[in-house]
Structure 1
Amino acid sequence: MPRIAGQIDETKTEAILEAAMALFAEKGVSTSMDAIARKAGVSRQTLYNRFPSKVEIGRALAERRSDAISAPLRSGGDPQAVLTAMASSLLQKICGDDGRTSMRGVALMSPTAPDLARAVYDAGPAQGLRRLTDWLAEQNRLGTLSVPEPALAAEMFVGMTLGHGHLRSVLGVPHPAFDPEARAAETARRFIRAFQP
């Protein structure tokens, strides 16, 4: 009999996602569902009840990261403050240690598990771009920014923020020393200047 939402132990879900992230980064797509269950300390049945496949686990991991990165867009407030917070979150999640590991893990999987790579992209980066696009379209509508092509502007913002950071993460190349908060503030300032009404 299926459990109701209040009966699900969310700590087990978190343990599964943490275990999967570590194993995917270490072993790529060859990671088995059994290995994920063992590392998470849950039964196979618990794992499959929550995530029927590695694709679903990848999707959940990507959604979690995307939600964290795009959280500033839901906070309201001054566009420069919102974009600074989002840029800071992008730099932390993509160029930080966890980001480097997960980016490399996805890159390793993509040739042999394109369905998993696509699920991760759609639930993560693509969803983040959609959220930023919608936010920019709303700023355009409100007149706080002039953004006639919000989808293009969203990609520009992410590119300005990360530079080669995502590529270094995928390749495992060390990032040069930089001040992430200063870079986030500078990116937001220049982006706002480019799209002033």
Structure 2
Amino acid sequence: MMTRRLLQLYLGLVLYGFSMALMVEAELGLDPWDVLHQGVATRTPLSIGVVTIAVGAAVLLAWIPLRQRPGLGTVSNVIVIGLAMDASIALLPAPEPLAVRIAFMLSAVPLNAVATAAYIGARFGPGPRDGLMTGLVRRTGRSVRLVRTSIELTVLATGWLLGGTAGVGTVVYAVLIGPLVHALLPRLRVPERERVDSVVGET
């Protein structure tokens, strides 16, 4: 049903922003793209959420030569995650004890996996960064593993040089996020029959 898909999409995107805010507050290392976002934020008067939106929009522009077509989920991803991240950072306490920071980080990774599976499973199109990867795979003929690794190493190194936080949280995220999303996606994917029925209902 369309209502379920929309609800799942936007809850997933808000949860994604919240999970990334937990990683930021933990100060133990971010995922590669957020290392870049934080690095840019430290060099500008912009918040990390606003930088996330700006980078997402710039990546979306890179879809044009790759002939990628954005969906509602793609555009929503650009806007909602950054807003949710800034709002969550403003509301979350800044934890000082290391045990609390570790708890923030360890909570953030599975929550991020749930969020990722939810918005992908809603079937409204990939996020801008995932679309960049798939577009480059199609245009270059290289493997997904090679293209994704190349992109993430590039943004991680750039973000770290700009002052973004890379650390144990970065490693934990890199190791766990793939298996977790792989396990959760089948449970949160909207069945094809529902998707077809909803499309028929729209016409």
TM-score tier (shorter): 0.3 to 0.5
TM-score by length of 1: 0.33
Q: Which has the larger radius of gyration?
A: 1
Larger RCO, structures 1/2 (Cα 8 Å, 6+ apart): 2
